[in-house]
DNA sequence: TTGCAAATTAGCAATTAGTGCAAATAACCT
DNA sequence: AGGTTATTTGCACTAATTGCTAATTTGCAA
């Protein structure tokens, strides 16, 4: 995801307006590697801007995702997680504390034995126990 | 997942009762490689046993999962998918028709660069277009 | 076989995550 | 500064799943 300043420009160029709510979320998401949920962002945003609505958080997350600034990932934990890192990468999820870490591997194994399936994308999820929990 | 007959024994051994509803689901799941959802199983079950309740389908799926006969997988499609193949394997999901295929790869890439994270399990999801849809 | 305790079913309420809608408000172009 | 258009917000609503419980069924035991 680009910086708050760059997003400000990008939003205006797209005919979207730049509100204090959106600027706050730009800041909360920029360089955020925690893979937050809408709810956790809502809590963080509410601390700085009491009264911001959860609906607005969802709306802005959808906008950013549609613009390709954010990716939404479902780890089967109930809620979707949002990731400002839109480069191709994988994830390690701690079964104990729920922490999600970015993982870079050279290449996912080639798909064999499924004749005719053309792979467009692959995502590896590692599960186990993180260093802090061990 | 074991055969309906073996499951019948296993359920009784576990102090669980074997009802017609459960036997039907044993049959519908045995050798089922479609990765069905609770809802799709409910539809299939209803065809053979009108009046069976969705609640019972969920309950039996939970029981089978708890017993390790089934695994529940979330592909981010809204509903959980159930897989009677509990061997370690991966999946290819068609973005066009939603079909889910089993995939066997020699080994997922070792996790490097995350010091101290001990991997217990890894799951690769390939997304793309299946042969039938191409 | 029959009886009975314990488990199951099924219906409905409740929950969680997220979306649809519309009135009030705010951004920003001129 | 004014007006058009987008945004915010609250609330109702959906989808998937779980909680609760009365009525029913299973399966051991007499
Ligand atoms: Mn990530
Ligand atoms: Mn499978
Ligand atoms: Zn941890
Ligand atoms: Zn397909």
CA distances from B112 to A103, B67, B104 (A): 8, 33, 22
* pLDDT at site B111: 79
* CA dist., res. A26 & res. A41, Å (int): 11
CATH of the domain at A36: 1.10.10.10
Flag whether pLDDT at B51 surpasses 80.
Answer: yes
Is the domain of B78 the same as that of B97? no
Is the domain of A38 the same as that of A66? yes
pLDDT digits (tens, 9 = 90+) for B101-118: 999 988 778 877 788 899
Band (pLDDT 50/70/90 cuts) for residue A109 is: confident
With CA of B51 and C1' of each nucleotide, the nearest comes out as C10
Range of the domain at A101: 87-134
With CA of A21 and C1' of each nucleotide, the nearest comes out as D8
Mean pLDDT of chain B: 95
Ligand 1 centroid–CA A65 distance in Å is 14
Is the domain of A69 the same as that of A96? no
Integer distance in angstroms from the first to the last C-alpha of chain B? 32
CA distances from A67 to A14, A116, B10, B41, B112 (A): 9, 31, 52, 37, 31
Flag whether pLDDT at A2 surpasses 90.
Answer: yes
Is the domain of B43 the same as that of B106? no
> Is the pLDDT higher at B110 or at B23?
B23
Task: Show residues of chain B in contact with A107, CB under 8 Å.
Answer: 109
- Find the Å distance, CA of residue B73 to C1' of nucleotide D10: 35
Average pLDDT (B4-23) is 97
CA distances from B94 to A3, A29, B84, B125, B131 (A): 34, 31, 20, 10, 9
Is the domain of B79 the same as that of B91? no
Is the domain of A13 the same as that of A62? yes
Is the domain of B13 the same as that of B61? yes
Nucleotides of D under 7 A from a protein CB: 5-11, 15-20, 25-28
Question: Could you say which of B83, B104, B126 is where a domain stops?
Answer: B83
Is the domain of B55 the same as that of B96? no
Residue length, chain B?
134
Is the domain of A56 the same as that of A12? yes
* pLDDT at site B112: 75
Q: Select from A123, A130, A134 the Cβ nearest to the Cβ of B125.
A: A123
Range scoring the smallest mean pLDDT among A8-12, A59-63, A82-86, A110-114: A110-114
List, in order, residues 6 or more apart from B112 with CB less than 8 Å away. Answer: A105
* pLDDT at site A1: 97
Please enumerate residues of A whose Cβ is less than 8 A from a Cβ of B.
73-76, 80, 92, 94-95, 101, 103-132, 134
Is the domain of B60 the same as that of B14? yes
* pLDDT at site A130: 94
- How many residue contacts between A and B have a Cβ separation below 8 Å? 120
Question: Could you say which of A63, A83, A103 is where a domain stops?
Answer: A83
Flag whether pLDDT at A111 surpasses 90.
Answer: no
- Find the Å distance, CA of residue B64 to C1' of nucleotide D27: 21
Is the domain of A95 the same as that of A76? no
pLDDT digits (tens, 9 = 90+) for A16-73: 999 999 999 999 999 999 999 999 999 999 999 999 999 999 999 999 999 999 999 9
CATH of the domain at B108: 3.30.1490.190
Mean pLDDT of chain A: 95
Is the domain of B94 the same as that of B73? no
Task: Report the number of distinct structural domains present in chain B.
Answer: 2
Average pLDDT (B80-84) is 98
């Amino acid at each position: 995801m680009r910086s708050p300043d760059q997003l400000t420009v990008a939003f205006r160029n797209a005919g979207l307006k730049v509100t204090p709510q959106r600027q706050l979320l730009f800041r909360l998401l920029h360089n955020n590697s925690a893979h937050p949920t809408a709810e956790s962002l809502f809590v963080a945003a509410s601390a700085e801007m009491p009264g911001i609505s959860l609906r607005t958080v969802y709306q802005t997350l959808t906008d950013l995702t549609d613009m390709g600034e954010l990716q939404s990932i479902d780890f089967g934990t109930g809620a979707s997680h949002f990731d400002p890192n839109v480069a191709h990468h994988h994830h390690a999820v701690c079964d104990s504390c729920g922490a999600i870490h970015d993982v870079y591997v050279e290449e996912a194994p080639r798909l064999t034995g499924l004749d005719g399936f053309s792979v467009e994308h692959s995502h590896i999820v590692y599960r186990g126990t993180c260093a802090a929990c061990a």
